[in-house]
Chains A and B, each alone.
Chain A
Amino acid sequence: MKVSALPALSSRLRSSALVVVIVLASACLSFSADSKSRASKMIFPASETNYQPRPYTGKLEPDDGQWMRPAKDYASTRYSTLNQINTETVKNLKLEFTFSTGLARGHEAAPLVVNNTMYIVTPWPNNLYALDLAQPGAPMKWVYQPMPTPASQGVACCDVVNRGASYDNGKIYYNTLDDQTVCVDAKSGKQVWKTRIGDINKGESLTMAPLVVKGKVLVGVSGGEFGIRGWLKALDANSGQVAWTAYTTGLDKDVLIGPRFKPFYAQDRGQDLGVKTWPPDAWKIGGAGAWGWVSYDPDLNLIFYGTANPGPWDSDARPGANKFSAGIFARDPDTGEAIWYYQFSPHDLFDYDAVNENILLDLPIEGRTRKVLVHPDRNGYVYVIDRTNGEVLSANPFAPITTSAGVDLKTGLLQYVEEKEPHRGKVLRGLCPSAPGAKDWQPSAFSPRTGLVYIPHNHLCMDEEDVSVNYIAGTPYVGANVVMYDAPGGHGGEFSAWDPVAGKIAWTIPDHFPVWSGALATAGDLVFYGTMDGWFHAVDARQGHDLWKFKTGSGIIGQPVTYKGPDGKQYVAILSGVGGWAGAIVAGGLDPRDKSAALGFVGAMQDLPKYTTGGGMLYVFSLP
């Protein structure tokens, strides 16, 4: 399965891809006559012809061998300096212990490791387990069960997942599906506080992993498919009281836009754009949650997070740019004030949420070091943005794209392709990337030793017809029939090493299914990721050679982590347990005859049930 994207091979892959598109397109001639222009308009990522590792010259947070935050550090690198397990020794990696969660839904969380204890959050019912790493076999210390209401499963658009917890100052913080943020004493497992911050009867749910910054727990809402009004809240870490709420839509005062707000581009400036860029009242049910990742730069004292897709998917219902959906905010964590904003996908047409991770790096760009954030967006481009002011420095494709023709770096505007704009009653074909984007929530990792960003991603296109939809609070607000399928090349996912300075792919490993797991990079020059058929891989960070793999019990959509055990040994941990949006066909037992099931993902995942069954299990590996 391994293909390194050497120039010859990648161009062959590309031309065969073109042939596939043309054949497919001519097969659909009855639907559209412009098949040629469609084929010629597909954009592909560029591959590096002669990749030379470019070690990182910036600074990273010191590493204590633990894993306390979802993305390891505030910069969201998911990089560990541990190197016992390396390209030489990895072949001896052995299973050390396992732990069953007893649940058959999608397991997306990263285990945390603090003070020789491992913490695991399960999908609904969101149990928190503490395992004692100082004892043989890591027995359970305690379990905390928040008992979220079963009804909340009805408002989880894409399986009842949870993406994990954060540790801070002796406490574990995480969210329950039924809109409660909980604070649990890390030693005793006793609840310190529990605050309900949303309402399932408005379609709100919580799936993201919070980040604790300067005594504030940052939590963003899910529900872009339910007509919510999106927000990010900061809760006081000691009391659980809401310190501030930043809505994604509405009046400037609700979005916490004030005198300090200075977006880089003209289209993001103006008064009350969170109201004016919507039809009357549509902003109240415009979706645009903040269910992804939060990064923090202590020097600039700024947090960065993306906002989700506007709702409904039926874009005819919401003419306008739909601010401040599908973009990124920089905010002051103390007050929540917006500092800048940039919209990746104005008036989003394809469910391109902008909630993906933002990796904070200091990179050499055109001769000078810039404080940037690297953001692989659902719309198919990896953005490098100046994180001090929101200027887009580059935006290069990392997956096949037909829905846009690039990003205008002068205006910052995504160049939509008119013939690919969905409207009611019109079936559009060959839309790439598909609704979950070139990449969904599955977080990338960065290695300072190679200078590469390791991106687990999708390789999918879709057909779509928009239909009008009624808003009924607490039920889905989508208005689209979608069917997804593999992008040209015949595989549904890839694991790519991305050079953020060159804006090119160094190497790519195709996979049959979307790579829906997170990535982990280590100083042993290894990168870890899992596939939906259950394989856990360690690959060489420089070349992408597959050096070690292990078949777990179920498909992997979790986030690998690594830590130093009490015995001084390095361990690698991953939760296996298929599900999530991509794995809904297995987790929800969906019927493959309806290709529009699970918002169209079932179209692309017809054969997943032949590869895996559900079942949550932690796997922890180490050297003998």
Chain B
Amino acid sequence: MQTDLALWSAVAGMLMLLACSREERQFRPSPPASEVINSVQVSGLNPGANPVGAPAAPEYYQESAYAVSQGKTLFNEYNCSGCHANGGGGIGPPLMDNYWIYGSEPGNIFTTIIQGRPNGMPSFRNRIPEFQAWEIVAYVRSLSGLLPKDVAPSRSDQFYVKPPEQSMPYQVPTGITGKPEPPK
């Protein structure tokens, strides 16, 4: 009995450890917004083969189920859903498909939210705190399957209008990917 209990608690402890990074909360500040925004590029054309790297972005949010679920709540609270519905779009374009006008990398989406975009995407500069914007970025990426399955939200108990983020297949981003695309 005693050994069983010890064994089970050890196993449970290990499982908890495994689950740790997905449940991790972080209070460390992200890279300054200006740094992110400066490195974002919304063109795939680089004159003189000018090398570009993916823009700086904190990894944490993309790996945290907590951050993503916060992002989902904020996506409604800031009325993103009013224009993008539950990802299928309306006034704004769909965010659950593979086509990205302004880039799918976290830094690109962050910049889209902070700067706004010309054809009707509002600028949320000074409206959404940076850490919340990163949470929203992570949630937006989960809509098209760009996050690990164990991080993306599962089916909510609300009105079922579309497949849950968790069951979205990974969709290779097209359009502006935010990453250099070297020839094969």
Report the minimal beta-carbon distance from B114 to chain A, rounded to whole angstroms: 15
Instruction: Of the listed stretches B19-27, B40-48, B59-67, B80-88, name the one at the interface; the rest are far from the partner chain.
Output: B80-88
* B92 beta carbon closer than 8 Å to chain A: yes
Are A598 and B78 neighbours in the complex by a CB distance under 8 Å? no
24 A/B residue pairs, CB under 8 Å, sorted by A: A151-B118, A153-B91, A153-B120, A154-B92, A155-B120, A465-B159, A469-B82, A474-B122, A475-B122, A477-B82, A588-B89, A588-B93, A589-B99, A590-B88, A591-B87, A591-B96, A594-B94, A594-B96, A597-B88, A597-B89, A598-B89, A599-B85, A602-B88, A603-B161
Q: A463-B159, A475-B82, A475-B83 are in contact. Are A154 and B89 (CB under 8 A)?
A: no
What residue in chain B is nearest A483 (Cβ atoms)? B161
* A392 beta carbon closer than 8 Å to chain B: no
What residue in chain B is nearest A157 (Cβ atoms)? B91
What residue in chain A is nearest B127 (Cβ atoms)? A472
* B162 beta carbon closer than 8 Å to chain A: yes
Q: Which residues of A contact B4 (CB under 8 A)?
A: none
* B148 beta carbon closer than 8 Å to chain A: no
Q: Which residues of B contact A463 (CB under 8 A)?
A: 159
CB contacts under 8 Å to B, within A468-483, are: 469-470, 472, 474-478, 481, 483
**Beyond known contacts A469-B79, A597-B87: 16 more, CB 8 A cutoff:** A150-B118, A150-B120, A151-B118, A153-B91, A472-B79, A475-B79, A475-B122, A478-B82, A481-B161, A584-B90, A588-B89, A591-B96, A594-B161, A595-B88, A597-B86, A598-B89
Measured in the bound complex, the distance between the Cα atoms of B158 and A464 in whole Å is 11
Q: A469-B79, A476-B83 are in contact. Are A154 and B119 (CB under 8 A)?
A: yes
* B29 beta carbon closer than 8 Å to chain A: no
Q: Which residues of B contact A590 (CB under 8 A)?
A: 85, 88-90, 93-94
Q: Which residues of B contact A476 (CB under 8 A)?
A: 79, 82-83, 91
* A596 beta carbon closer than 8 Å to chain B: yes
CB contacts under 8 Å to A, within B151-180, are: 158-159, 161-163
* B77 beta carbon closer than 8 Å to chain A: yes
Q: Which residues of A contact B92 (CB under 8 A)?
A: 154
Measured in the bound complex, the distance between the Cα atoms of B97 and A593 in whole Å is 9
Are A599 and B90 neighbours in the complex by a CB distance under 8 Å? yes
Measured in the bound complex, the distance between the Cα atoms of B89 and A476 in whole Å is 13
Q: A465-B159, A483-B161 are in contact. Are A593 and B79 (CB under 8 A)?
A: no
Are B91 and A597 neighbours in the complex by a CB distance under 8 Å? no
Q: Which residues of B contact A427 (CB under 8 A)?
A: 159
Return the 4 tightest CB-CB contacts between A and B, nearest first: A594-B88, A154-B120, A476-B82, A597-B88
* A496 beta carbon closer than 8 Å to chain B: no
Measured in the bound complex, the distance between the Cα atoms of B91 and A478 in whole Å is 13
Are B120 and A594 neighbours in the complex by a CB distance under 8 Å? no
Q: A472-B78, A475-B83, A597-B94 are in contact. Are A591 and B89 (CB under 8 A)?
A: yes
* B76 beta carbon closer than 8 Å to chain A: yes
* B121 beta carbon closer than 8 Å to chain A: yes
CB contacts under 8 Å to B, within A57-110, are: none
* A592 beta carbon closer than 8 Å to chain B: yes
Are B93 and A593 neighbours in the complex by a CB distance under 8 Å? no
Q: A150-B119, A153-B120 are in contact. Are A593 and B96 (CB under 8 A)?
A: yes
Report the minimal beta-carbon distance from A589 to chain B, rounded to whole angstroms: 7
Chain A 352-377 interface mask (CB, 8 Å, partner B; 1/0):
00000000000000000000000000
Are B158 and A465 neighbours in the complex by a CB distance under 8 Å? yes
Binding site for B on A (CB under 8 A): 150-157, 225, 427, 463-465, 467, 469-470, 472, 474-478, 481, 483, 584, 588-599, 602-603
Q: Which residues of B contact A597 (CB under 8 A)?
A: 85-90, 94
Binding site for A on B (CB under 8 A): 76-79, 82-83, 85-94, 96-97, 99, 118-122, 127, 158-159, 161-163
What residue in chain B is nearest A594 (Cβ atoms)? B88
Measured in the bound complex, the distance between the Cα atoms of B92 and A599 in whole Å is 12
Q: A476-B83, A481-B158 are in contact. Are A591 and B97 (CB under 8 A)?
A: yes
Measured in the bound complex, the distance between the Cα atoms of B86 and A590 in whole Å is 11
Name the contact of A598 in the complex, choosing from B77, B85, B87, B158 (C-beta under 8 A).
B85
Are A596 and B86 neighbours in the complex by a CB distance under 8 Å? yes
Are B82 and A596 neighbours in the complex by a CB distance under 8 Å? no
What residue in chain A is nearest B121 (Cβ atoms)? A154
Report the minimal beta-carbon distance from B166 to chain A, rounded to whole angstroms: 14
What residue in chain A is nearest B95 (Cβ atoms)? A591
What residue in chain B is nearest A151 (Cβ atoms)? B120
Measured in the bound complex, the distance between the Cα atoms of B87 and A11 in whole Å is 41
What residue in chain A is nearest B83 (Cβ atoms)? A476
Max chain A C-beta neighbours (<10 A), residue from B83, B86, B90, B162: B90
Measured in the bound complex, the distance between the Cα atoms of B120 and A205 in whole Å is 12
Are B162 and A594 neighbours in the complex by a CB distance under 8 Å? yes
Measured in the bound complex, the distance between the Cα atoms of B156 and A427 in whole Å is 13
Q: Which residues of B contact A474 (CB under 8 A)?
A: 122
Are A598 and B94 neighbours in the complex by a CB distance under 8 Å? no
Measured in the bound complex, the distance between the Cα atoms of B121 and A603 in whole Å is 24
Q: A151-B118, A154-B122 are in contact. Are A591 and B79 (CB under 8 A)?
A: no
What residue in chain B is nearest A425 (Cβ atoms)? B158
Q: Which residues of A contact B127 (CB under 8 A)?
A: 472
What residue in chain B is nearest A154 (Cβ atoms)? B120
Name the contact of B87 in the complex, choosing from A156, A464, A470, A594 (C-beta under 8 A).
A594
Are A591 and B88 neighbours in the complex by a CB distance under 8 Å? yes
Q: Which residues of A contact B79 (CB under 8 A)?
A: 469-470, 472, 475-477
Are A154 and B91 neighbours in the complex by a CB distance under 8 Å? yes
Q: Which residues of A contact B94 (CB under 8 A)?
A: 589-591, 594, 597
Q: Which residues of B contact A595 (CB under 8 A)?
A: 88, 161-162
Measured in the bound complex, the distance between the Cα atoms of B96 and A595 in whole Å is 12
Report the minimal beta-carbon distance from A590 to chain B, rounded to whole angstroms: 4
Q: Which residues of A contact B161 (CB under 8 A)?
A: 481, 483, 594-596, 603
Measured in the bound complex, the distance between the Cα atoms of B184 and A339 in whole Å is 74
Q: Which residues of A contact B83 (CB under 8 A)?
A: 154, 475-476
Q: Which residues of B contact A475 (CB under 8 A)?
A: 78-79, 82-83, 122
Measured in the bound complex, the distance between the Cα atoms of B141 and A230 in whole Å is 37
Measured in the bound complex, the distance between the Cα atoms of B83 and A474 in whole Å is 11
Q: Which residues of B contact A156 (CB under 8 A)?
A: 91, 120
Q: A153-B120, A465-B158 are in contact. Are A593 and B163 (CB under 8 A)?
A: yes
Are B118 and A588 neighbours in the complex by a CB distance under 8 Å? no
Name the contact of B77 in the complex, choosing from A152, A470, A584 (C-beta under 8 A).
A470
Report the minimal beta-carbon distance from A287 to chain B, rounded to whole angstroms: 13
Are B90 and A588 neighbours in the complex by a CB distance under 8 Å? yes
Measured in the bound complex, the distance between the Cα atoms of B158 and A427 in whole Å is 8
Report the minimal beta-carbon distance from B30 to chain A, rounded to whole angstroms: 23
Max chain B C-beta neighbours (<10 A), residue from A152, A483, A588, A603: A588
Measured in the bound complex, the distance between the Cα atoms of B121 and A152 in whole Å is 10
Report the minimal beta-carbon distance from B151 to chain A, rounded to whole angstroms: 20
Report the minimal beta-carbon distance from A367 to chain B, rounded to whole angstroms: 50
Measured in the bound complex, the distance between the Cα atoms of B80 and A154 in whole Å is 11
Measured in the bound complex, the distance between the Cα atoms of B82 and A469 in whole Å is 9
Are A593 and B162 neighbours in the complex by a CB distance under 8 Å? yes
Measured in the bound complex, the distance between the Cα atoms of B150 and A392 in whole Å is 59
What residue in chain B is nearest A584 (Cβ atoms)? B90
Are B120 and A598 neighbours in the complex by a CB distance under 8 Å? no
